[in-house]
Amino acid sequence: MKMSKYGSIEQFRNIVKAVKDSTYYNGKDDEGNVLFDYTRKLPTITFTGFVKLHGTNAGIGFDGENYWAQARERIISLTEDNAGFYVYAKKQESHIKELLRQIKEETGYDEVLVYGEWCGAGIQKGVGISQLEKRLVVFDVCGVNIDENGESSKVYLDQFIDRFESPDHDLYNKKMFKTFSIDIDFANPELAVNKLVEMTISVEDECPVAKYFGIDDGLGEGIVFETHVNGAKLRFKSKGEKHSVSKVKTIVQVNPEVVESIVAFVEYAATENRLEQGLTYMKENNIEIKVENLSHYIKWVSSDIMKEESDVLVANNLTYKQVGGKIATKAREHLFEYVNKNL
């Protein structure tokens, strides 16, 4: 039994760069320098969009003997739960473990994991699904093999997602709800932006998942678009303005944001939504939100900005050393404000 973390989801601009780089890549020369062939035609790829839910990342695994539940960063237990997900996983163990056992038997993987969003009342605020009782919405099933050195390799098993549908067990999957489709011409990705924005705003205005369960006019978060290319899963997220963690001019971008100054970058990157997301990270990992744990909070906020916005720094000729102090100050003020409000 080993924690198998669910990977982060890219921004649209990162996928545009990745597709262009992989298409143009033409090996290396004798000195090891990367070669590109810019005469190659860029592809048009169809992406399917699934509603992105605002809850907490959750997973359940089975290796033939052990059955476990996990949050985004850790395996959870009765004494170190995450918003009640461990209790749910144990309550539904016989049903979910049997599904995982069948998939493991059919595929032969060492481990099988199901990943989803644990969502509903008391988990997040301000979205339509927060009016529902807690439930698990599955968005991925994965098979994991572990080699003799203990290194693991993961494969997506999308063909099994449909099996995770059982309202009697508060178990649903992303395919049950409204989906979206878009053809993206990577020679002209700008042409896709308006449609991507339009679809994202439609979800923000009225969450299709909340509507499915009878909640009208419930705020949604956004969409995750995905496809498979040469055996690899490509995916990117688009969030509505109310949930975007960056202060962008448009919610879907082809190129990195251009800012006017160091202060402007900090305002762009260290938004209220991202700072709140950092507090959620601490709650998910049982790190008490108090002044003594400020370093954990600042580290997460800084790391998330570097992960998501490093290309924006490069595009604006900035280094993290230039902006790091101001980001830490803004994070410190946000945590102190939260602590003072909750004394």
- CATH code, 33: 3.30.470.30
Helices (H), the chain: 12-24, 85-91, 93-107, 190-205, 208-212, 262-269, 272-284, 294-315, 320-341
Do 192 and 324 lie in one domain? The reply is no
C-alpha span between 266 and 326 (Å, rounded): 7
Provide the angle, in degrees to the nearest 10, between the axes of the packed helices 294-315 and 272-284.
140
Question: Of the candidates 240, 265, 280, which is a domain's last residue?
Answer: 240
Q: Is 171 helix (H, G, I), strand (E, B) or coil?
A: strand
CB neighbours of residue 232 within 10 Å? 10
User: Are the C-beta atoms of residues 112 and 162 closer than 8 Å to each other?
Assistant: no
Whether this model's pTM surpasses 0.85: no
Do 48 and 173 lie in one domain? The reply is yes
Tokens of 1: 């039994």
pLDDT of residue 247: 61
Give whole-number Cα distances, 44 to 33, 189, 299, in Å: 28, 9, 39
Residue 37 lies in a domain: yes
> Tens place of pLDDT for every residue, the chain, 343 residues?
678 899 889 999 999 999 999 999 999 999 999 999 999 999 999 999 999 999 999 999 999 999 999 999 999 999 999 999 999 999 999 999 999 999 999 999 999 999 999 999 999 988 999 999 999 999 999 999 999 888 899 999 999 999 999 999 999 999 999 999 999 999 999 999 999 999 999 999 999 999 999 998 899 999 999 999 988 899 999 988 776 655 655 667 777 777 778 888 899 899 998 999 999 999 988 899 999 999 999 999 999 999 889 988 988 888 989 999 999 999 999 999 999 988 7
Do 18 and 130 lie in one domain? The reply is yes
Do 172 and 206 lie in one domain? The reply is yes
Residue 246 lies in a domain: no
Tokens of 23: 């298409």
Question: Of the candidates 210, 240, 270, which is a domain's last residue?
Answer: 240
DSSP string, 113-164: EEEEEEESTTTSSSSGGGGSPPEEEEEEEEEEEE-TTS-EEEEE-GGGGGG-
Per-residue DSSP letter, 277 = H
Q: Is 245 helix (H, G, I), strand (E, B) or coil?
A: coil
Q: Give the count of domains, the chain.
A: 2
Residue 1 lies in a domain: yes
Residue 247 lies in a domain: no
Do 182 and 80 lie in one domain? The reply is yes
Do 306 and 183 lie in one domain? The reply is no
Do 124 and 178 lie in one domain? The reply is yes
C-alpha span between 145 and 233 (Å, rounded): 18
What residues make up the domain containing 187?
A: 1-240
User: Are the C-beta atoms of residues 128 and 67 closer than 8 Å to each other?
Assistant: no
Hunting for tokens 């992105």 — which residue is that?
52
Question: Of the candidates 240, 267, 288, which is a domain's last residue?
Answer: 240
Do 140 and 181 lie in one domain? The reply is yes
Residue 219 lies in a domain: yes
pLDDT of residue 259: 74
Do 167 and 43 lie in one domain? The reply is yes
Residue whose C-alpha is closest to residue 2's, from 56, 86, 85, 65:
65
Amino acid making up residue 165: E
Residue 251 lies in a domain: no
Residue 245 lies in a domain: no
C-alpha span between 134 and 214 (Å, rounded): 15
CB neighbours of residue 75 within 10 Å? 16
pLDDT of residue 49: 98
Residue 248 lies in a domain: no
Angle 30-33-39 from CA coordinates, rounded to 5° = 105
CB neighbours of residue 97 within 10 Å? 15
**Looking at the chain, how many residues does it have?**
343
C-alpha span between 231 and 158 (Å, rounded): 12
pLDDT of residue 248: 52
Do 146 and 22 lie in one domain? The reply is yes
Do 22 and 139 lie in one domain? The reply is yes
Antiparallel, parallel or unpaired: β 232-239 and 10-11:
parallel
Do 201 and 126 lie in one domain? The reply is yes
